[in-house]
Amino acid sequence: MITVIADDLTGAAEIAGVCLRYGLKVAFGLDSVPEELADVMVIATDSRSGTIDGAYRIHRLMATKALTADNTLVFKKVDSVLRGYVVQELKALMTVSGKSKVLLQPSNPVAGRCIREGKYFVEETLLENTGFSSDPDFPADTSDITDLLNQRALVGEKINQYPIITGRVVDFREKAFYVPDCNSVEELGLPLVNWDPDVLLAGSAAFFEQVLLKITGATKANNNPKINISSAFLIVCGTAHPQGQRFLERLKTEAGCPICYFPSQFLQEKISEGEFSRWAKSLIPDWKWSNKMAVSVSQSKVSFPGSSSLLRLRMDEVVAELVKNCPVQELLIEGGATAYSVLNYLKWKTLIPEQELEPGVVRMRVGRKPSLYLTIKPGSYSWPSGIAGIKD
């Protein structure tokens, strides 16, 4: 059995999609160990949105609950550009598992994300010179892997004491974090040749796929058939990413789908909760009239004290009203933090992954509401062709 712990929901779903690609049975839990046994147990947390101490506690707790069998292979899913509290979360898993070394491979060469001579590149551009340099939570002001990990591992004045070894990795003799160079799909799996069970495995979904191939001997199953979601859907756009906003415009012009943005009076720190609740309820007849809808906070970035959490909570209320009062069959959410918040608000802790529509875009059945399907994707990914009848 394989247990995967992820620091965000979309990353966990991406892992589930890889498993489906190989015909493996997947169980999926939100901040909990899945109740149903499966080939791969995926635990989704939202530790990336919290504090560094909280990330350590969450991962230690999840690992303690999950690692009850000696034959469990542990994999720590991390962001492909190392956003989040990667070192602290790995230390938590090392403490529980008793492992003293880590093989960490965040690269995804198919997406142009590679490591060369210990530096991270997106296509041919150093990470610090890409849009990730202005990430609101984890801005990359360096492309050096060691510096990047150590900067995000600071706890007060305490620095990471574990050596970080980059470059070409051929063995794992020293107690350290190993982050090998990787410039191609072929190079992704090379360090696994000399892997031993005392080495904790961590990395991107692309690296996890290599773990399945090299260590478990998994083989690809038949591809899932494409689906056409044209009605009875609710699309939730939780980001102001330009790609997501362009898709909303296409929804409106090509599919005739109503697009509902938050009115300006609800884009402030203090609002009338009663007015907001009435506005949310007013969307119910609109959905029933068209049998579809997309909801977004705003077409541009909104910022005020506590804006991220407050706007997510307001979106939670809107989604809950629509799902409760409308016969929504397909709920599609863009943005991992948004999806996590919605699921927590609705108390949906168990999901059953069923289809990988595209890498990173996974359709799942909701355990507590089996007539409803949930599809989630990261904000920077595109929706697959066929969603709302829109073709590439």
State pLDDT tens for residues 260-293. Answer: 999 999 999 999 999 999 999 999 999 999 999 9
Q: What is the reported pLDDT for 160?
A: 67
Q: Are residues 295 and 356 in the same domain?
A: yes
What's the total number of domains in the chain?
Answer: 2
Instruction: Work out the average pLDDT over 334-357.
Output: 90
Residue 187 lies in a domain: yes
Residue 9 lies in a domain: yes
Output the CA–CA distances (angstroms, integers) from residue 24 to 21, 56, 210, 220, 222, in the order listed. 8, 29, 15, 9, 12
Per-position DSSP letters for 365-384, written without gaps between them: EETTEEEEEEEEE-TTSPPP
Q: Are residues 202 and 336 in the same domain?
A: no
Output the CA–CA distances (angstroms, integers) from residue 297 to 109, 244, 281, 291, 328, in the order listed. 33, 12, 16, 20, 20
Q: Which of 202-216, 274-288, 377-391 has the least mean pLDDT? A: 377-391
Alpha-carbon gap, residue 212 to 298, rounded angstroms:
40
Residue 190 lies in a domain: yes
State pLDDT tens for residues 243-259. Answer: 778 888 888 888 889 99
Q: Are residues 60 and 192 in the same domain?
A: yes
Q: What is the reported pLDDT for 37?
A: 84
Q: Which of 23-32, 109-118, 160-169, 371-380 has the highest mean pLDDT?
A: 109-118
Q: What is the reported pLDDT for 199?
A: 95
Residue 390 lies in a domain: no
Residue 239 lies in a domain: yes
Instruction: Work out the average pLDDT over 27-48.
Output: 90
Q: Are residues 191 and 306 in the same domain?
A: no
372, 371, 353, 349: which is closest to 363 by C-alpha?
Answer: 353
Query: What's the domain range around 168?
Result: 2-216
Residue 225 lies in a domain: no
C-beta separation of 31 from 8 below 8 A = no
pLDDT greater at residue 218 or residue 46: 46
Is the pLDDT score of 70 beyond 80? no
Residue 326 lies in a domain: yes
CATH number at residue 273: 3.40.980.20
Per-position DSSP letters for 89-104, written without gaps between them: HHHHHHHHH---EEEE
Rg of the chain (C-alpha set): 21
Please report which confidence band the pLDDT of residue 382 belongs to, taking 50, 70 and 90 as the band edges: confident
- Which of 183, 216, 249 is the last residue before a domain boundary? 216
Q: H helices of the chain, where?
A: 9-21, 52-66, 86-97, 145-151, 185-188, 205-211, 242-255, 273-290, 307-325, 336-346
Q: Are residues 52 and 199 in the same domain?
A: yes
Q: Are residues 73 and 212 in the same domain?
A: yes
Who's near 14: CB < 8 A, 6+ residues apart?
A: 77, 205, 359, 360, 362, 378
Q: What is the reported pLDDT for 360?
A: 85
* Single-letter amino acid code for the residue at 222: N
Is the pLDDT score of 154 beyond 80? no
- Which of 188, 216, 244 is the last residue before a domain boundary? 216
Q: Are residues 8 and 148 in the same domain?
A: yes
Q: Would you state the torsion angle of the CA atoms of residues 29, 34, 35, 36, taken in this order, to the nearest 10 degrees? A: 110
CATH number at residue 16: 3.40.50.10840
Q: Across the chain, what does the average pLDDT equal?
A: 90
Q: Are residues 56 and 107 in the same domain?
A: yes
Q: What is the reported pLDDT for 76?
A: 97
Is the pLDDT score of 157 beyond 60? no
Please state, as a whole number, how many other Cβ atoms lie within 10 Å of the Cβ of residue 339. Answer: 27
Q: Are residues 197 and 314 in the same domain?
A: no
Is the pLDDT score of 33 beyond 90? no
- Which of 152, 181, 216 is the last residue before a domain boundary? 216
Q: Are residues 259 and 197 in the same domain?
A: no
Residue 226 lies in a domain: no
**Residue 350, beta-bridge partner list:** 29
Q: Are residues 248 and 163 in the same domain?
A: no
Please report which confidence band the pLDDT of residue 302 belongs to, taking 50, 70 and 90 as the band edges: confident
Q: What is the reported pLDDT for 1?
A: 85
Q: Are residues 77 and 170 in the same domain?
A: yes
